[in-house]
């Protein structure tokens, strides 16, 4: 690992989910560049074997690509990264009812690879280690009980001799955690709950026993800073969404901020001890999951060098945190935000709209809240270019009506205590999404591309002066990273939500994308969901391009 920002950047290989442990999704390869990207052609393709949504980031080590499908019959593939020929595939035996406790469509965002092993998190909340050469299972551990609503949807993080995973289940009344296992044996080394338990500082910020079903799951991905030996993981919404269940109905969040939820946590990599935490949305009542990735880099702000963690939150604010201390350096809206007027940089807290008008209450609707609960940005990853110093991110332009309601908790059943209408376009224009170039130092949008339908995909940047992203209509695009000019596009035939990756073998640079439209519960999205389904044909495909 490199110094400062753990910047062991991706070059010929794409060794981690986010390219590097800093989650920059930046590659130093430049054979494909602004001058020749127009000549990209498909060199091979591989079916993902299912019509479910596909959200995987391929990992490339040497000449092998490791990629996951969202569901069976085959769940993990090892492919020849040059030709697409299959080396092996893996099919775990999942229980027949595992789908009944997966919130939002069947998905898997990829594996982690280290020390000759492939680590794979499953929808039944198990973690498997496979032999990277043969695909043979070496060990399997139960991370949590899937019958209670736990699942694993994202790639684990490999740190030294550990493999670290988060978990999903915030809609099922679970209590979130992050857990670390020995890569060699699967023995658990540490497990840290995101919500403080009885007798722990912060437990009093949860009303009564609400901490036991408080959500704060960790279904996104982690980052790692080797110099500080810190693992950064962020947490989901407080559960259930209806905030009256775990505090008061009002925006006086000082008594019940529900610590641990909608937060950024920094863990000691060896022990799992929480070093610091920062809460993006105290006493969350909007389902503003804080799970989006933390991107690590060093920024020069006002003449001094800041060890930064960059985070574009579902709540609509773009954050720059000091990753040493957790102190907020900047927080600025990157989409239309009206639930809060601003973030107070002294207290670190958002200042909510006056008179609780945008905070849902029991039986009282908060109308036209922006952004909606799909967020200013959802899980699709952003990218930080070392070349331009800009962040490239997919954003939504959507608002909602939302209210709290009474609901009983039943283990293994959806637990929201909330009702909502998401089928509302946003405050600016009739485009439902946009792709944004953001300057984290100047704290402003440099350029943006409106997208008619919701869900612009994740981003990837390269030293060739390029940024790549796609959309739900299935168009993969290469842009000039400085200007946003579209230099190349290709229709892959199904919706794209994940970002492209790039790698080189025998001196030739390749570009790979996994595509397969969002399934999600259409009821969440209303009429807009129907529109999205119509825009994007079903299908799961991995496509690889080269000059």
Q: For residues 2 and 224, what is the distance between their CA atoms, to the nearest angstrom?
A: 11
In sequence order, what are the beta bridge partners of 165? Answer: 179
Residue-wise over 269-302: b if at least 16 C-beta within 10 A, else e? beebebbbbbbbbbbbbbbbbbbbbbbbbebebe
Q: Are 393 and 377 spatial neighbours (Cβ–Cβ below 8 Å)?
A: yes
Asked about 287 being catalytic, the answer comes back as yes
Q: What is the DSSP letter of 153?
A: -
Q: Alpha carbon of 254 to those of 37, 251, 343, 358: distances in Å?
A: 52, 9, 15, 17
Q: For residues 259 and 213, what is the distance between their CA atoms, to the nearest angstrom?
A: 13
Please identify which of the residues 108, 237, 372, 471 carries the catalytic annotation: 237
SS3 525: helix
Q: What is the DSSP letter of 428?
A: S
Find all residues with CB under 8 Å of 248, minimum gap 6, and list them: 207, 255, 256
User: What is the C-alpha end-to-end distance of the chain, expressed in Å?
Assistant: 31
Asked about 407 being catalytic, the answer comes back as no
Please name the residue that has the structure tokens 């490999």.
Answer: 158
517's tokens: 């439209």
Q: Are 366 and 401 spatial neighbours (Cβ–Cβ below 8 Å)?
A: yes
Find all residues with CB under 8 Å of 133, minimum gap 6, and list them: 116
Q: For residues 508 and 41, what is the distance between their CA atoms, to the nearest angstrom?
A: 13
Please identify which of the residues 13, 52, 124, 287 carries the catalytic annotation: 287
Q: What is the DSSP letter of 168?
A: B
In sequence order, what are the beta bridge partners of 86? Answer: 79
Please identify which of the residues 20, 52, 171, 407 carries the catalytic annotation: 171
Asked about 39 being catalytic, the answer comes back as no
Provide the annotated active-site residues.
Answer: 171, 237, 287
């Amino acid at each position: 690992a490199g110094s400062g920002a753990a910047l062991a950047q991706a070059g010929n290989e794409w060794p981690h989910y986010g390219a590097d442990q800093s989650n920059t999704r930046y590659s130093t390869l430049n054979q494909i560049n602004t001058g020749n990207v127009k000549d990209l052609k498909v060199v091979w393709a591989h079916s993902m074997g299912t019509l479910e949504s596909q959200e995987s980031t391929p990992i490339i080590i040497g000449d092998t690509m490791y990629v996951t499908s969202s569901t069976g019959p085959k769940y993990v593939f090892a492919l020849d990264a040059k030709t697409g020929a299959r080396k092996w595939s893996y099919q775990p035996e999942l229980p027949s009812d595992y789908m009944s406790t997966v919130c939002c469509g069947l998905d898997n965002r990829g594996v982690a690879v280290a020390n000759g092993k492939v680590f794979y998190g499953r929808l039944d909340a198990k973690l498997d280690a496979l032999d990277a050469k043969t695909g043979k299972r070496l060990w399997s551990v139960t991370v949590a009980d899937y019958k209670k609503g736990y699942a694993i949807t994202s790639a684990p993080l490999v740190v030294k001799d550990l493999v670290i995973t988060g978990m999903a289940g915030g809609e099922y009344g679970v209590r979130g955690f992050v857990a670390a296992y020995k890569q060699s044996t699967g023995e658990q080394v540490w497990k840290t709950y995101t919500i403080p338990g009885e007798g722990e500082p912060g437990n009093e910020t949860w009303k009564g026993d609400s901490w036991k079903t408080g959500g704060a799951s960790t279904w996104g991905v982690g980052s790692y800073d080797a110099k500080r030996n810190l693992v950064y993981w962020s947490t989901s919404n407080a559960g259930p969404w209806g905030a009256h269940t775990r505090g008061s109905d009002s925006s006086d969040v000082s008594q019940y901020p529900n610590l641990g939820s909608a937060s950024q946590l920094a863990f000691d990599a060896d022990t799992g001890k929480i070093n610091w935490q920062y809460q993006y949305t105290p006493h969350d009542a909007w389902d503003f999951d804080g799970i989006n990735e933390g991107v690590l880099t060093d920024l020069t702000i006002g003449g001094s060098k800041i060890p930064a963690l960059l985070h574009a939150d579902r709540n609509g604010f773009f954050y720059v945190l000091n990753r040493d201390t957790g102190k907020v350096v900047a927080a600025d809206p990157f989409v239309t935000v009206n639930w809060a007027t601003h973030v107070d940089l002294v207290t670190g807290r958002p200042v909510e709209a006056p008179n609780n008008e945008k905070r849902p209450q029991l039986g009282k609707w908060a109308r036209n809240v922006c952004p909606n609960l799909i967020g200013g940005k959802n899980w699709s990853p952003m990218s930080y270019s070392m070349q331009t110093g800009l962040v490239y991110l997919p954003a939504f332009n959507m608002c909602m009506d939302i209210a709290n309601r009474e609901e009983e908790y039943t283990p293994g059943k959806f637990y929201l205590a909330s009702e909502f209408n998401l089928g509302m376009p946003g405050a600016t224009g009739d485009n439902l999404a946009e792709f944004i170039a953001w300057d984290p130092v100047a704290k402003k949008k440099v350029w943006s591309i409106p997208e008619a339908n919701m869900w612009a995909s994740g981003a990837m940047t390269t030293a060739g002066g390029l940024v790549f992203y796609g959309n739900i209509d299935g168009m993969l695009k290469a842009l000039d990273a400085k200007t946003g000019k579209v230099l190349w596009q290709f229709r892959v035939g199904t919706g794209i939500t994940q970002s492209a990756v790039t790698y080189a073998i025998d001196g030739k640079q390749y570009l790979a994308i996994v595509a397969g439209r969002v399934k999600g519960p259409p009821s969440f999205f209303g009429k807009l969901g129907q529109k999205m389904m119509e825009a994007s044909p079903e299908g799961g495909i991995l496509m690889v391009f080269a000059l």
